[in-house]
Amino acid sequence: MWDTEEKRFMNHSRVIESRILSLENNGEDRFVFQQWTGLLDKHGKEIYEGDILESNHKLFRFEVIWSEDWAMFTVKGDSVGSLIRWATYCEVIGNIYENPELLKGE
């Protein structure tokens, strides 16, 4: 889970501790839940919503997003269903929270 105040990912016990403190301070928008897509990149790393993928030969970079229209994970800027198509040809190089600069120049 991404913590918008501390700008880092949190493990479950830290989330519970921080959430209690956050509720006491009315910090309702503090945490962003990261959903696992159920897919792995070319190195076997789990792919999560908000991850940034880079294709073989570094030709393309994609942000993993949830499509409400199709009720599935896809990549921003490509056709629906493309995450399933691209996952095994890409690697996770970062995420939109810790490495937003990786998507600059889209």
Tens of pLDDT, residues 25-68: 555 666 677 899 999 999 999 999 999 999 888 888 889 999 88
For CATH 2.30.30.290, list the domain ranges present in the chain: 35-98
Alpha helices in the chain (DSSP H): 12-24, 82-86
Q: Kindly state which CATH superfamily the domain 35-98 is placed in.
A: YopX-like domains (2.30.30.290)
Residues 45, 48: Cα–Cα separation, whole Å:
10
DSSP string, 34-63: PPEEEEE-TTS-EEETTEEEEEGGG--EEE
Do residues 103 and 93 touch, judged by C-beta distance below 8 A?
Answer: no
Q: What predicted TM-score, i.e. pTM, was given to this entire model? A: 0.73
